[in-house]
Amino acid sequence: MIEKALRGSKKYWLWLGFLATIAGIGVFFYVDQLWNGLGITGMSRDVSWGFYLANFTFFVGVAASGVMLVLPHYLHDQKEFGKITILGEFLAVVACGMCITFVTIDLGRPDRVVNLFLYPTPNSILFFDIVVLSGYLVINAIVGWSILDAESKGEKPRKFVKPLIYLSIPWAASIHTVTAFIYSGLAGRPFWLSAIMAPRFLATAFAAGPALLIIICLILRKTTDFDPGKVAIKKLSTIVTYATIAGFFFLLCEFFTAFYSGGAEHTATWKYLLFGEGGSGLQPYMWGVLISTMIAIALLVNPKTRARHDTLAIACVLVFFSIWIDKGLLLVIPGFIPNPLHEFTQYWPTGKELAITFGVWALGFMVLTLLYKIAISVKLEIGDHEIHH
Amino acid sequence: MELSRRDFLKMAGIASAGVVVAGSAGTLLTGCTPVAKSKDGSLAGKQMAMLYVPSRHEEGCTDCTQACHLKHNVPNIADKKHEIKWIWETEFQHAFTEYMENDLLKERMKGVPYFVLCNHCANPACTRVCPTKATFKREDGVVMMDYHRCIGCRFCVAACPYGARSFNFEDPRDSLSKPVPNPNFPTRERGVVEKCNFCSELDIQGGELPYCVQACVKRKGSLEKSALIFGDLADEKSDFHNILEHLQKEEKLIPLRRKEIAGTQPKVYYLV
Amino acid sequence: MYDKGKIIIGVIIFLAVFTIPFWYSQATGDADKSPYADTSKLIAEGKTCVEPADYMREHHVKLLTDWRNDVVRGADTIYTSEEYGTTFDKSLTNTCLEQCHTNKSQFCDQCHSYVGVKPNCWSCHNVVEEK
């Protein structure tokens, strides 16, 4: 089936070329980082995790969101998702790959990454995270590929696929829960020490992932002959709506606990984010996220604007990017501000750091494009798509 | 959905496996602090601890920091964002952030320097999160760093409630003299995390004191008069124990520890 | 087979390039320049290594790795020589380099350059000044 990715229109190759350029620039600066060390980033002694892990955290959520298509389709027989479960599975594969990449480029000694496997440490959540992420990547790759392969040949999928699919459902929830546990298990970081961290992660994941899928489906409708169908997009938009509301609600719960209880250590970081106490670098982003989320919810709750594809697209873009900024910039980095001695050190990613990050994005989207090209070619061949108007 | 008996059994199997994993994960997550046992058991039963008496500290003195950083080749890096520090001076409200809002206490403690360092906790958060056991607890309670194994993930830096750990963003030798201040102690490489090691390269169980304590003892004349005191908390017959008794009973000082709420059981006591 | 001539020539060129490590040094005469570590001064002073020279040549990497794990992780700092029975502090800098092998370029680097390995000990463990 790989040969399907090697044939495409001019736009297809231009898109891949554009992504390859960005990826190339990212690789170039990563070599700089390998040579000169993590000092080229904006991280410091106090803010020791930065943009790389922020993106890692966000993309684990995107990976987990594949389950939102698999669960209704396989567990509850909702056939409308049938055309696009493969898109969700391939997105999960790519997102997992991006996550593992982000963690690896964040290491101070990537040459020693083998130590993770030579000296397994089950009490370390990071160790678990690597294990479950790799496992999820493998599961989705196998499931997606074998089902697609079977469909292209007009056969039924092999017997081992079904149990793997059932396994992937709790596994998806677990990868993001484990990622949340990285943060929520640290008594020394009161901003992260919240029981609601894992539910927040899952809710925002199930909003951002399907939002991205909706945007991709809409783009595919325009640029290819593949139409996932109005019903599938409608169902996805329902998921995005409820998940965004849930995520926003959880955020408001955090506000309540912090500000009503008034404890100094609990509110210090929220005051930094909302009111700029200690530094106002991230303040505009915090308010931007709040406002964007509210606009998105307004667009999504109203059935008319949710049904119309142009307003839906706007809402999904708002959801995707505001959750990206919230989970990344406004969750990982502020955990370190103020530091345990209540000193404020500001953080902003450097240009090189951004270039490397977007290089990883580009690599991910390249692989996604190739995989989707294969999936869509198969779907078009077997006629598993709506008639495009 | 029509569920066949086979599918049900499969799901039940996975679910029960999940319960087993969750259960063992529970014990692992809460109970596990990797402890490296000494080969000959000579370190067993010891609990190395440090006392700091702020009232004995002379204004402007940073002998302890200088001694430690010199003997361990800790670089003095120009870019403060990349700085490395093992023991350093701060103010009271930064060492004890719980009292951040207490204006009376802040006024009372104004200008009194508080030295902070790795607390070598009995229940350390850092060793719990290290994915390669590069940081681990030794039998005598010292929290060690294995620079050969560290992958530089900085999870320990995030986990430490005391901000005691520093990551090597640059090659430390770029900021050190040539030859290094102490050729008998290795430098570290770029990309690993480091922190105070309670001078575990010395025979601290046998009575040798960490360099910071040595510097203070030198300045003050004796261990009894020093602002920094070190010894085995578990040995009730030791000088350390006698001094601790004296500080509490005669000088009526109370032993505080930083961030008790973190549950880490630090081994550095502040006698105030 | 088709294009027999071209294929056979290609295979010969491939084999030649692939086996360069084996015949190049013989051809240029470099093979005779084997590394030589002058330990005559140390022998004259009556010093013996931790273990005999043949053993060290073969096992010094494992020995040093064991030492490092013993010291850092096991708090086990004394080494007793199997051959000689003498005790040593398990330290590369303080025992090996400072007490005997003070000339790193003459002693350590000669063999390492010849074999083409770059051990990364020196980025942390300090090299003692040459005497």
Domain range annotation of chain A = 2-382
**Mutate which: B115, B119, B169, vs A, most A CBs within 10 A:** B169
Say if CB A198 and CB A145 are below 8 A apart.
no
With a CB-CB cutoff of 8 Å, which residues 307-366 of chain A face chain B? 335-336, 339-343, 345
- Chain C residues with beta carbon closer than 8 angstroms to that of B189: 123-124
Chain B closest CA to A281's CA: distance in Å? 17
pLDDT band at B25 (very low <50, low <70, confident <90, very high): low
pLDDT of residue B33: 61
Residue of B nearest to A159 (CA): B7
- Chain A residues with beta carbon closer than 8 angstroms to that of B160: 188, 340
**With an 8 Å Cβ cutoff, is B133 touching chain A?**
yes
Cβ of B125 and A44 within 8 Å?
A: no
Mean pLDDT of chain A: 92
Q: Is the dihedral of CA B182, B188, B193, B198 positive or negative?
A: negative
Chain C closest CA to B74's CA: distance in Å? 12
Interface predicted TM-score (ipTM) over 0.95: no
Q: Give chain A's largest Cα–Cα span.
A: 64
Q: Is the dihedral of CA C17, C19, C22, C26 positive or negative?
A: negative
Tell me which amino acid residue A288 is. Answer: G
Cβ of C126 and B180 within 8 Å?
A: yes
Alpha-helical regions (H) of chain A: 10-36, 51-64, 67-70, 85-106, 115-118, 125-153, 161-184, 197-223, 230-261, 264-275, 283-301, 303-307, 309-327, 351-382
Cβ of A49 and B34 within 8 Å?
A: no
Cβ of B183 and C68 within 8 Å?
A: no
pLDDT of residue B59: 85
| A389 pLDDT more than 50 | no
Weakest-pLDDT range from B41-45, B135-139, C30-34, C84-88: C30-34
Q: Which residue from C98, C124, C128 is facing B186, i.e. has the nearest CB? A: C124
- Chain C residues with beta carbon closer than 8 angstroms to that of B188: 124
Chain B closest CA to A155's CA: distance in Å? 21
Between 1.10.1240.10, 3.40.50.740, 1.20.1630.10, 1.10.1300.10, what CATH number should domain A2-382 receive?
A: 1.20.1630.10
With a CB-CB cutoff of 8 Å, which residues 203-262 of chain A face chain B? none
Tell me which amino acid residue C14 is. Answer: F
pLDDT of residue B20: 54
Query: Considering only CB atoms, which residues of chain B are within 8 Å of chain C?
Result: 36-40, 42-43, 136, 138-140, 144, 146-148, 171, 173, 179-180, 183-189, 200
Start-to-end CA distance of chain C, whole Å, equals: 67
| A328 pLDDT more than 60 | yes
Chain B closest CA to A167's CA: distance in Å? 8
Chain B closest CA to C74's CA: distance in Å? 4
Cβ of B169 and A37 within 8 Å?
A: yes
pLDDT of residue B266: 95
| B29 pLDDT more than 70 | no
Cβ of B186 and C126 within 8 Å?
A: yes
pLDDT of residue A249: 96
Q: Residue B255: helix, strand or coil by DSSP?
A: strand
Name the nearest CA neighbour of A241 among A208, A286, A196.
A208
Domain range annotation of chain C = 1-33, 35-123
Q: What angle do CA A199, B161, B267 make, to 5 degrees?
A: 135
Name the nearest CA neighbour of B266 among B122, B136, B133.
B122
| B142 pLDDT more than 50 | yes
- Chain B residues with beta carbon closer than 8 angstroms to that of A122: 25, 28, 32
- Output helix, strand, coil percentages for chain A, rounded to the nearest 5: 75, 0, 25
Structure confidence by residue, pLDDT tens digits, A87-124: 999 999 999 999 999 999 999 999 999 999 999 998 99
Q: Which residue from A75, A122, A188 is facing B159, i.e. has the nearest CB? A: A188
Strand (E) or helix (H) holding C64: helix C53-74
Cβ of C73 and B146 within 8 Å?
A: yes
User: Distance of alpha carbon A70 from its chain centroid, rounded?
Assistant: 17
Q: Which residue has the higher pLDDT, B59 or A191?
A: A191
Cβ of B28 and A106 within 8 Å?
A: no
pLDDT of residue C11: 94
Structure confidence by residue, pLDDT tens digits, A221-274: 988 888 888 888 999 999 999 999 999 999 999 999 999 987 777 789 999 999
For residues B32-42, average pLDDT: 70
| C18 pLDDT more than 60 | yes
**pTM score, two decimals?**
0.88
pLDDT of residue B32: 53
Structure confidence by residue, pLDDT tens digits, A1-54: 888 888 888 999 999 999 999 999 999 999 999 999 999 999 999 999 999 999
Instruction: List the subunits that have 3+ CB pairs under 8 angstroms with B.
Output: A, C
List of domains in chain B: 47-271 (3.30.70.20)
Q: Quickly count: other Cβ atoms within 10 Å of residue C107's Cβ.
A: 19
Q: Quickly count: other Cβ atoms within 10 Å of residue B12's Cβ.
A: 10
**Mutate which: B140, B184, B203, vs C, most C CBs within 10 A:** B184
Cβ of B36 and C126 within 8 Å?
A: no
Structure confidence by residue, pLDDT tens digits, A178-210: 999 999 999 999 999 999 999 999 999 999 999
pLDDT of residue B27: 45
pLDDT band at C37 (very low <50, low <70, confident <90, very high): low
pLDDT of residue B207: 86
Residue of B nearest to A334 (CA): B158
Distance separating alpha carbons of residues A177 and B208, to the nearest angstrom: 47
Distances, alpha carbon B129 to alpha carbons A25, B15, B21, B158, in Å: 34, 27, 18, 9
Distances, alpha carbon A106 to alpha carbons A14, A27, A252, B35, in Å: 30, 14, 31, 28
Distance separating alpha carbons of residues A352 and A38, to the nearest angstrom: 10
Q: Which residue has the higher pLDDT, A78 or C38?
A: A78
Instruction: List the subunits that have 3+ CB pairs under 8 angstroms with C.
Output: B
Structure confidence by residue, pLDDT tens digits, B65-102: 999 999 999 999 999 999 999 999 999 989 999 888 88
- Chain C residues with beta carbon closer than 8 angstroms to that of B172: none
Helices (H) and strands (E) in chain A, counts: 14, 0
Structure confidence by residue, pLDDT tens digits, A270-309: 999 999 988 888 999 999 999 999 999 999 999 999 999 9
